Copies of this chain bind each other. A is one copy, B any other.
Amino acid sequence: MDFADLTAAERQALQHCEHAILGRESPLRLDCGVELAGHRVAYKTWGTLNAARSNAVLICHALTLDQFVIGTHPVTGKPGWWDTLVGPGKVLDPARYFIVCANVLGGCMGSTGPQDRDPATGQAWNLRFPVVTIGDMVRAQAALLDHLGIPDLFCVIGGSMGGMQVLEWCASFPKRVFAAVPVACAARHSAQNIAFHEVGRQAVMADPDWREGDYRQHNTVPARGLAVARMTAHITYLSELALQRKFGRALQNRDAPGFGFDADFQVESYLRHQGATFVDRFDPNSYLYITRAMDYFDLAGAHGGTLANAFRGTHTRFCVMSFTSDWLFPTRESREIVHALNAVAANVSFVEIDSDKGHDAFLLDEPEMFRTLGGFLKGAAAARGLPEAG
């Protein structure tokens, strides 16, 4: 395949992972009605699929993350985003499980997204790329599992938008999911969260360098707009207490306020850095598409307005987790999932983890999360008849 059209980051990503071209024979029909044929799914795997093909774990990534769950990221050079959870001797041990993580449809780390060419026209999709949904992402993952010869998953796990995918998996492919772990998520995106996403999109689209989405063809980058979008979003990933503890009103490299608009405060300097580095690793159009997919997520809405209907008849074992200081996906949202699962007598355990680190807690060193997940997986693996690692 010719990657010449892709961004430098995507080319680099694809050199450090596997990819599959899917949907050539039976195209992926998107929720918006468009059919995608021959779309690319970039993915990583760790461990070995056992003979019974019963030990596969699918990790679903969040909005701006990707398939580089562990190890050094080929683009950013940073450690993998779930290094704490995945690896030898860790809760998700490749010695025991065959672990898969794929870049979502619409993403910018190797899977097909707005930066690709429309095969019908030979032109870059950009904003003409069809709007994708969480359901579309999950169907693309299901096609990848078919391609990999994985009939069903021992476990599907993810946080934030990854958790939305977990819920969608359980609703769309209940027989292919033995155990499910939706973390720090919701069954529908709230008005406030849609509002924050809209601000981010408006920031990108307000940047004249965005060029109605055709920035690559104009050799521009809407870097300022994307940075502002990231800064706003980043605040929502933390908690007020975490910001207060980490920065408070401490000044950056100065003893007294500068009486100007430089980054006087450490928290300003930190946010500016978050904005600036994000631009180096994430595609602006992809940011529009993936935030939109989250906005559209409404599992109850897709099941006659009753969330329990999404899970009726399920045999999946659920472990739902939330964090006390997460105000983006507050515990209340997780409780709604649990109530819906209880209403259909599903096998569900729920833990609200005490943490002051906000939404990002699911990516951090949270021993209670590891313990909870370890215990849940141990029980599920025993029920599934998986031998212990090593």
Which A residues contact B (CB, under 8 angstroms)?
31-33, 127, 130-131, 188-192, 194-196, 198-199, 201-203, 205-208, 224-225, 227-228, 231-232, 235, 238, 240, 243-244, 246-249, 257, 259-261, 263-265, 267-268, 271-272, 275, 288, 292, 295-296, 298, 301, 327, 330
> Contact between B199 and A228 (Cβ–Cβ < 8 Å)?
yes
> Contact between A224 and B198 (Cβ–Cβ < 8 Å)?
no
Closest to A132 in B: B259
Minimal beta-carbon separation of A386 from chain B (angstroms): 40
Q: A246: which B residues are within 8 A, CB to CB?
A: 191
Contact A243 to B191, CB < 8 A, known contacts A249-B298, A259-B131, A288-B261? yes
Q: A248: which B residues are within 8 A, CB to CB?
A: 191
**A240 CA / B44 CA spacing, docked (Å):** 37
- A207 CB contact (under 8 Å) in B194, B199, B206: B206
**Identical subunits present:** 2
11 contacts between A and B (CB under 8 A): A192-B235, A192-B238, A194-B268, A195-B243, A195-B268, A198-B231, A198-B272, A199-B228, A199-B271, A206-B228, A249-B301
Q: 7 nearest interchain CB pairs?
A: A206-B224, A32-B259, A191-B243, A131-B259, A192-B240, A198-B268, A191-B267
| Most-contacted residue by chain B among A195, A243, A272, A327 (CB, 10 A) | A195
